[in-house]
Structure 1
C-alpha cells in the first residue's frame, strides 16, 4: 500500500467514525518497531486488534513473522477488505474486538502474543474487561499483549487489570510518533 493510499484510507475511516480510530494519523514506523519489538518470529499465532491500515502487520512480516500465523481483527469494512488484499495468508476477522471469543472465532485458539492498536482511551472499563478476558482466554500461558497509548499511564485501569488477573508495565516511549506514544506490556500475574 502506498503512503498516499494509506493516508487516504485512514482519513476516510477517521471522518466516518472518529472514536473508533482515536488518532490523528496512522502509527509511524518507530511505534510499529516498538510495539512489535518483543515478538519473536516463532511466537506462534499473533493476534492483532485494530489493525487499521496494517502498519504493525507489515512490521511483523518485516521481522519474519509467518503471515499464515496472523489473526487480524478490524471492524471497519474498507480496512478489513484492504487487509485481506494485503495479507492473503492471514485470517482477517471483521468484528468488534469486544465481541471476540475463541468459541465463535476458532482462529483465536493458540494465540501466543497479541498487539493492540485499538483506541483504548475511548472505551469503557467494561469494554476493557471483555476485551482482556477474550484475548487472555485464547492466549497460551506465557503470552502477553502489547498496547500503546498517547498518555503516560496505561489506559486500562488498575481495577480492571486486577479483576482480570493481569498486570501492565510500561516498556517503551516513542517520541518520534505523531503524537508521541507509550508502549505497555500486559501479562498474567505470576
Structure 2
C-alpha cells in the first residue's frame, strides 16, 4: 500500500466522518479474506466503496480482469485515484444508494465485494429472506482498523424435489 494512502483516508475521514468508515485503508489480511472465494470463474465483480483500491488489487491478483471490475466510489479524491491506478476498470463516482438509477442495476455480476464497513452483518435478515439469500460469516480479523468481520451472502439453495413440486 502506498504510504500516502493512509494520509488520504485520514483526510477523507476528517472531511466526512459519518461517510468514511475508517481512518485508514483496509489491511492486506482483510483484502485476502474478502476475496478468498473469488476466482477467474466468478465472472465480473462489482466493488462497492473501493477507497484506495486494496480489495481491487486483491481481485486482480485472483485473476479478475480490470475491465470486469466496475468500482463504485462516492469520494471524488478516491475515484480519481482509482481511475489512475486501474485505468481499464470502470470507476463510477456515485453513492451506492443511487446505483439503481444506473445501467449497473441491470448488469450481471458473479460477485460483489464491499468495503463499506459495518460492525455486524450489513444486510438485515428481512431483506435477505425477501430476496432468497442467506448470510454466513466466513472470517474476521483483528489486523485491521477497525477490526472487521467478513460475510458471504449467497442464494438460498432449494432441494430439487421442491423445485419439481413447484413446476407441477
**TM-score, with length taken from structure 1:** 0.76
CA displacement at 1:8 relative to structure 2: 1.5
User: Equivalent residues in 2 for 1:1-190 (5 A)?
Assistant: 2-3=2-3, 5-101=4-100, 104-106=102-104, 109-119=107-117, 121=118, 151=119, 153-190=120-157
Structure 2 unaligned spans of 5+: 158-168
- 1:108 and 1:38, CA in 2 relative to 1: closer, same or farther beyond 3 A? farther
Structure 1 unaligned spans of 5+: 122-150
Q: Which has the larger radius of gyration?
A: 2
Mapped contact 1:168–1:185 kept (Cα < 8 A)? yes
Bigger strand fraction: 1
Q: Name whichever of 173-182 and 23-32 sits farther off.
A: 173-182
CA displacement at 1:108 relative to structure 2: 6.0
1:92-135, Cα deviation, whole Å (9 max, x unpaired): 1111111113x62258612111001113x4xxxxxxxxxxxxxx
The 4+ residue runs of structure 1 with deviation greater than 6 A are none
Give the paired residue count.
157
